[in-house]
């Protein structure tokens, strides 16, 4: 066995182990955090905000991604099963959900950042984009478009040469690489970042309009405070998401672009696979941090969460305990 092969195998095993630990943390804390986000963003006080709709969709998309994609990574990848390279149906399903579900979560977060930007606009027509009717249509449209945009994946992925992959030497290999890098990773995160920066600049210029337009153009202090707190929460989550996606973007770009120009060595392939595997795990770890980050930085978020916990305790657990004690 050569030194290169030994190094590549050792690096591959280290990558699997690191990814496993990160994925387990994501699975445990991510499910808890997403449920916490769902509790907060379904509260009565947040229903008036258009951003809460996008954040609710984001949390739901992240929860589904964790339950499907992370569970497959944690349990299937370590089971030793070769089903992915034997069943074309499972092959198509896994690659589709691995791309479509994270893209859906990113797109909803992008819409949340866009919503906060237009809420700071002085133009009433622009602010009209965060009316409830428009927000609901954008949320549904994003769901449909995102899922349809990835439909080419189950069509063109299959079992080739005993592996789940695109047909070797096919032009779709480059199309898929470009789609993954530009459409799924790069574009939504660039737009998130731009909208967040523009929102910060807009708030520095004027703090008078940070809520949807109403007939008399007057916004209550309570609603204004809510919108400002949501801006804070969204901007922090966007920056965390952008940072966490950097390694995934870099490694995927390197594989798609550089490997086509320069034939990779065994060590180069191992290093790229290590970076992409760990980068993907770190990207999904972002789903487990949003709730806890919001709990740390936002007193408003903490207050709303504790109120929701008390509400569910009194509404369900308290009634059951009271009913049992009466018997």
DSSP letter at 45 equals T
What does the pLDDT look like over 248-292, one tens digit per residue? 777 777 776 777 677 788 888 888 888 888 888 888 998 988 899
Nearest to 280 by CA among 126, 74, 121, 53: 74
Contact partners, residue 327, CB within 8 Å, separation at least 6: none
Sorted by where each starts, the structural domains of the chain and their CATH numbers stand as 1-207+225-325 (1.20.1070.10)
Percent of the chain with pLDDT over 70: 88
**What average pLDDT does the structure give for the chain?**
84
The span from the CA of 267 to the CA of 7, in Å, is 7
- Listing DSSP states for 216-242 in one string gives T----HHHHHHHHHHHHHHHHHHHHHH
List residues bridging with 166 in a β-sheet. 157
What does the pLDDT look like over 211-221, one tens digit per residue? 444 444 444 55
Quick check: 305 and 39 in contact, CB under 8 A?
yes
Which three-class secondary structure state does DSSP give residue 170? Answer: coil
Number of residues that this document lists for the chain: 327
What does the pLDDT look like over 105-139, one tens digit per residue? 999 999 999 998 888 877 778 778 888 889 999 99
**At residue 142, does pLDDT exceed 90?**
yes
The span from the CA of 311 to the CA of 305, in Å, is 10
Quick check: 100 and 180 in contact, CB under 8 A?
no
The span from the CA of 225 to the CA of 232, in Å, is 11
């Amino acid at each position: 066995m050569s030194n290169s092969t030994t190094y590549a195998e050792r690096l591959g095993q280290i990558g699997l182990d690191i990814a496993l630990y990160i994925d387990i943390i994501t699975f445990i804390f991510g499910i808890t955090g997403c449920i916490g986000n769902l509790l907060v963003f379904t509260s009565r006080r947040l229903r008036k905000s258009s951003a809460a709709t996008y954040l609710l969709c984001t949390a739901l998309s992240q929860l589904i991604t964790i339950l499907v994609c992370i569970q497959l990574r944690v349990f299937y990848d370590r089971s030793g099963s070769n089903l992915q390279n034997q069943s074309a149906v499972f092959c198509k399903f896994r690659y589709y959900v691995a791309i479509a579900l994270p893209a859906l979560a990113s797109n909803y977060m992008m819409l949340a950042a866009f919503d906060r930007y237009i809420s700071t606009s002085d133009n009433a027509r622009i602010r009209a984009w965060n009316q409830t009717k428009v927000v609901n249509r954008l949320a549904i449209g994003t769901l449909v478009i995102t899922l349809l945009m990835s439909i080419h994946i189950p069509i063109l992925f299959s079992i080739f040469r005993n592996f789940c992959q695109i047909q070797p030497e096919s032009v779709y290999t480059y199309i898929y690489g470009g789609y993954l890098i530009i459409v799924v990773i790069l574009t939504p995160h660039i737009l998130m970042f731009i909208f967040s920066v523009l929102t910060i600049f807009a708030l520095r210029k004027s703090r008078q309009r940070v809520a949807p337009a109403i007939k008399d153009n007057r916004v209550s202090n309570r609603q204004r405070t809510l919108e400002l707190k949501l801006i804070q929460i969204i901007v922090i989550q966007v920056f965390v998401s952008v940072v966490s996606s950097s390694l995934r973007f870099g490694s995927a770009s390197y594989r798609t672009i550089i490997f086509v120009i320069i034939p990779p060595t065994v060590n180069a392939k191992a290093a790229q696979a290590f970076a992409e595997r760990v980068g993907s795990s770190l990207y999904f770890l972002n789903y487990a941090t949003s709730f806890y980050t919001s709990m740390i930085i936002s007193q408003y978020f903490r207050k709303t969460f504790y109120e929701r916990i008390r509400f569910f305790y009194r509404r369900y657990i308290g009634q059951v305990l009271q009913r049992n004690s009466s018997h």
